[in-house]
Chain A
């Protein structure tokens, strides 16, 4: 039986088609989840995709965090359900307090779309086991509110507890603290990534295939669980 990965569509979600494609390409079964349904449809893991949920009004992710589906997802994640938030999904996870810190406007105040190299700092989360420790892969950064910030204590704790999943390998393009591109929850099951691995799954439409292992990793992890 294949692993079923839920992908949530909020009003204003944009990259759910790409997350769906990446899950299928990795060999999993994508399962669409609707923001208005308090139902996770029994999936093995959930992806919160990129986009501009609720138009980024108020603050990015601040409204989506209160969507009915989140009322199911937040306790499930706390109980160990693997969750990956990409870009806007990362912002939602921070707003939901499933991950610490916040995302703020890029240092240059402009939206940035570019290929970035990220270094996998922790390959022991359920979303990153497919990578070698310290492996550098190219993925796509495309965000306007992508600079990760947290207080000094939180940043120190993240580093000390090995919860930084990925860092920008060539320095932060957007002002992220400690070059952080992605972090994990204390239990490691919830991961937030600002750049988009789902846009780096083939040579034709992306900078390479370096993002695919995030999706194969969860299939392996979930099948083992």
Chain B
């Protein structure tokens, strides 16, 4: 084997050509590295800079904008750790903290759906674990090309299978998520994985090395040649960018997951934390050892040594650049004191987790690595960890005004097709029952799942004695965002907020995964800038901070970017999960009410997409103050035991919401076929609540006006609930009553619940195969 490229050699051969462009670094970035080091980088150093300065790791195009989350953060005492950590940490009371984060694994999941999605789950779980928490639940927000497209039949079952394989084997309940389809995702599906963890306040861990002389331990799976350049090559460029190889050449960039090792790693880490032998810890994800060492050292403002020969390898042929860049899964890096090292290693051995001392924390301020006795890396860690900043050109797309002016023309005879339209929405892939997917996930393991999909939010019990719990939901609507990325992102925030509130929880904090096209396209950067501004402004008004998140650029194949798809996750708390509200009807003879105002808003609606194939106009109006009032009513009503169900009204309007409530039931999760469903009889108000003008059945059923929910009032609580709504200024109108075997909209149409059930349940199995 040839000798490594050493620091000494680099100093001696300043003019040697290096493949910085192939590694994704621009000429200017390469020049900056050379200037900072005072020499050319070694090939190992170049590897570190190329992955750390990639879009994926450095957020170089987005950091300028993301600052708003901190600058506009509402005053809160709930945040124990925020942006910049592996995940945000929120105080949920009684000494408990919850950490949660959502992250994309879009590109790997397109190249290799099963392993791409599986390792997406694995990666986010390690982020949560690294904060000191026990991971307790996962969720997935998924977007695919048209449901009937041939490639969707390759990608979707693979992604679902990968999530099922990894999450189930890891023993984490999958409690919800999203599934949407649009042609814009044909060449670039979105796989956003969320994980939530729980800890006591005092268990919080940070990725900040300290204490010169302390040991740096690498533990978990051995390092192999998988995922090399995943961050720089795969996640930081568009597919089809390079004429030579395209995605074929990128296949080795996808990692392979071993959930069994991850399970051991989780239990091992939790035992290490309990033993008090961890000074700092960092998961190995994108950019592997390069990222973990530079970030641990940079955050602690210390130096670090590492002997790369000590890294356990699956492939003995790996050289320093590959060892540093490998994204082999199921690895962690921790700092421990020399006194605790023995106990640390014994705990790892008890869990059959290989562990190796890689180096030490130093006071030199340099990250120094050796291989075969030679110094191959000697850099200031902050120079790699901080990365460059790009001010990308921003340009509002020229077609934006035209798109917004393209209102859907109302047509004669619309009101005669209401029944057909409702069944079309319910049978559409977006509106249909998702059991074909969720049945493949274990939603019950660990025994704390109080609500899971298809309820509005997942609800987990945190404490079995006090019944403290949390609710979590993710939402995103790319059609709204295409029409207006500022308002569309606020609508995603509002919907997730409302979904959490609909379970009776108090919304507390926000995470996000911002999926966009290429940042090199000024129109995409405009969408991104508007979206971030909308989210930051929205969180400020709602009084819930952004705790962290993830940006995924380059979601496009060739010149066509995906629609802007910010996915927003909201976490809420329930002081007593026994008071949670399910989304479905649980008993006949109870009063159904509609909260909020309805106006005719069809821009970006599911109705416009499914029945007219239309996307244009403006999205529904945002009223965050109304969302707050609605959430306050729902939380108070849940605590007071006034309601038996609540379901947010959003995509598909009131019609789809009612149909869902007939079918979902009150159990913890959807169990189609386990019950017949409960029907209802509703009547359209003479004039839609809070508006003037003549009754508009289409708006009544399918408008997507925001800040609305349907609720079912417990018998005897009608007066008290009406007073609560009035006191909070929430418009409330009686719609009808639960019961019977039909969904009946008086004077308009009637559908048997059995027909709703059949239409809703057949779509995904027919598309995606055998049961």
Answer whether A and B are interacting partners: yes
> Which residues of A does B touch, CB under 8 Å?
11-12, 14-15, 17-18, 21, 36, 50-52, 54-57, 108-115, 138, 140, 142, 144, 196, 198-199, 204-207
Residue numbers in B under 8 Å from A57 (CB-CB): 260
Contacts of B352 in A (CB 8 A): 11
Q: B443–A113 contact, CB under 8 A?
A: yes
Contact B169–A206 (Cβ < 8 Å): no
Tell which of A55, A108, A111, A205 touches B164, judged by Cβ atoms closer than 8 Å.
A111
A3 to B447, CA, bound (A): 23
Q: How far is the CA of A205 from the CA of B258 in the complex (A)?
A: 29
Q: Which of B622-675 contact A (CB under 8 A)?
A: 667-668, 671, 674
Contact B171 A114 (CB under 8 A): no
6 residue pairs A–B, Cβ–Cβ below 8 Å? A17-B446, A108-B770, A110-B771, A111-B168, A113-B439, A142-B168
- Check B168–A144 contact: CB distance below 8 A: yes
Partner of A18, one of B263, B264, B438, B445: B445
Q: A111-B164, A112-B439, A113-B440 are in contact. Are A207 and B667 (CB under 8 A)?
A: yes
Q: Which residues on B are within 8 Å of A, measured CB to CB?
A: 161, 164-165, 168-171, 258-261, 263-264, 350-352, 438-450, 461, 464, 577-578, 667-668, 671, 674, 770-771
A198 to B448 Cα, complex, angstroms: 12
CB atoms of A111 and B445 under 8 A apart: no
Having A110-B164, A111-B441, one finds 18 other A-B pairs with CB under 8 Å, namely: A11-B264, A12-B169, A14-B170, A14-B446, A15-B445, A52-B171, A52-B263, A55-B258, A55-B259, A55-B261, A56-B260, A110-B440, A113-B440, A113-B444, A114-B439, A204-B578, A205-B448, A207-B667
Contact, CB under 8 Å: B440 / A56: no
Which interface residue of A12, A55, A111, A113 has the most chain B CB atoms within 10 A? Answer: A113
Residues from chain A with Cβ under 8 Å of B442 in the complex: 111, 113, 142
* A140 neighbours in B (Cβ, 8 Å): 444
**Which chain A residue has the least Cβ–Cβ distance from B260?**
A55
Which residues of chain B have C-beta atoms less than 8 A from A15's C-beta?
171, 445
Which residues of chain A come closer than 8 Å to B770, judged between CB atoms?
A: 108-109
Residue contact B668 to A12, C-beta cutoff 8 Å: no
**Which residues of A have CB within 8 Å of B259?**
52, 55
Question: Bound complex: CA of A54 vs CA of B577, how far in Å?
Answer: 34
User: Does A54 lie within 8 Å of B447, measured CB to CB?
Assistant: no
Q: Are B447 and A21 in contact (CB under 8 A)?
A: yes
- Beta-carbon contact of A11 and B351 below 8 Å: yes
User: Which residues in B have their C-beta under 8 angstroms from that of A36?
Assistant: 350
Which residues does chain A contribute within 8 Å of B168, judged by CB atoms?
Answer: 52, 111, 142, 144
Cβ B444 vs Cβ A111 within 8 A: no
Q: How far is the CA of A49 from the CA of B263 in the complex (A)?
A: 16
**Complex CA distance for A114 and B437, rounded to whole angstroms:** 12
The distance in angstroms between the C-alpha atoms of A207 and B447, with both chains bound, is 12
Expressed in whole angstroms, the Cα–Cα distance for A111 and B442 within the complex equals 8
What separation, in Å, do the CA atoms of A71 and B514 have in the docked complex? 53
The 7 A-B residue pairs whose C-beta atoms are closest, nearest first, are A55-B260, A14-B171, A18-B447, A52-B169, A115-B671, A111-B440, A142-B442
Contact A112 B447 (CB under 8 A): no
Residue on B nearest A201 in the bound complex, by CB: B447
Asked if A205 contacts B260 (CB within 8 A), the reply is no
Also in contact, A199 and B440, with CB within 8 A (given A52-B260, A204-B578, A205-B461): no
Contacts of A55 in B (CB 8 A): 169, 258-261, 263
Distance A205 CA – B170 CA, assembled complex (angstroms) = 20
Expressed in whole angstroms, the minimum distance between the Cβ of A141 and any Cβ of chain B is 10
Nearest chain-A residue to B446 (Cβ)?
A17
What's the Cα separation between A111 and B439 when bound, in Å? 7
| Contact between chains at A207 and B671 (CB < 8 Å) | yes
Q: Is the CB of B674 within 8 A of A18?
A: no
Q: When the two chains form their complex, are residues B439 and A115 in contact, meaning their CB atoms are under 8 A apart? A: no
- What chain B residues lie within 8 Å of A142 (beta carbons)? 168, 442, 444-445
A52 and B171 alpha carbons, distance in the complex (Å): 9
With both beta carbons as reference points, the residue of chain B lying nearest to A202 in the complex is identified as: B447
Contact flag A51-B171 (CB < 8 Å), given A111-B440, A205-B444: yes
B449 to A, closest residue via Cβ: A205
Smallest CB separation, A76 vs chain B (Å): 24
Bound form: Cα–Cα A140–B449 in Å: 13
Chain B residues contacting A198 (CB-CB under 8 Å) are 447
Nearest opposing residue in chain B for A115, CB measure: B671
Q: Which residues on B sit within 8 Å (CB–CB) of A138?
A: 674
Instruction: Name A56's closest neighbour in chain B (CB-CB).
Output: B169
Which chain A residues border B447 with CB–CB below 8 Å? Answer: 17-18, 21, 198-199, 205-206
CA A108 – CA B258 in complex, angstroms? 23
Are A54 and B440 also in contact (CB < 8 A) when A11-B351, A114-B671, A199-B447 are?
A: no
Complex contact B263–A12 (CB within 8 A) = yes
In the complex, A129 Cα to B730 Cα: how many Å?
Answer: 54
Rounded to whole angstroms, the CA-CA distance of A128 and B464 in the bound complex is 27
Is B668 a contact partner of A205 (Cβ separation < 8 A)? Answer: yes
Distance, CA A117 to CA B195, complexed state (A): 31
Which residue of A is nearest B668, CB measured? Answer: A205
Residues of chain A with a CB closer than 8 A to B264's CB: 11-12
Question: Is there contact, CB below 8 Å, between B771 and A108?
Answer: yes
Of the listed residues A57, A114, A199, the one surrounded by the most CB atoms of chain B closer than 10 A to its CB is: A114
- Which of the listed residues A12, A54, A109, A207 has the most CB atoms from chain B within 10 Å of its own CB? A12
* A63 shortest CB reach to chain B, Å: 10
Chain A residue contacts of B444, Cβ below 8 A:
113, 140, 142, 196, 199, 205-206
Q: Are B577 and A204 in contact (CB under 8 A)?
A: yes
> What is the bound-complex CA distance between A108 and B161, given in angstroms?
13
A55 to B264, CA, bound (A): 10
Residue of B nearest to A17 (CB): B446
The CA-CA distance from A109 to B165 in the complex, in Å, is: 12
**A39–B448 alpha-carbon span in the complex (Å):** 30
Inside 8 A of A115's CB, which chain B residues have their CB?
Answer: 667, 671, 674
Q: Which residues of B contact A196 (CB under 8 A)?
A: 444
Q: Choose among A54, A112, A204 the residue with the greatest number of B CB atoms under 10 Å from its CB.
A: A204
**Which of A52, A142, A205 gathers the greatest number of chain B CB atoms within 10 Å?**
A205
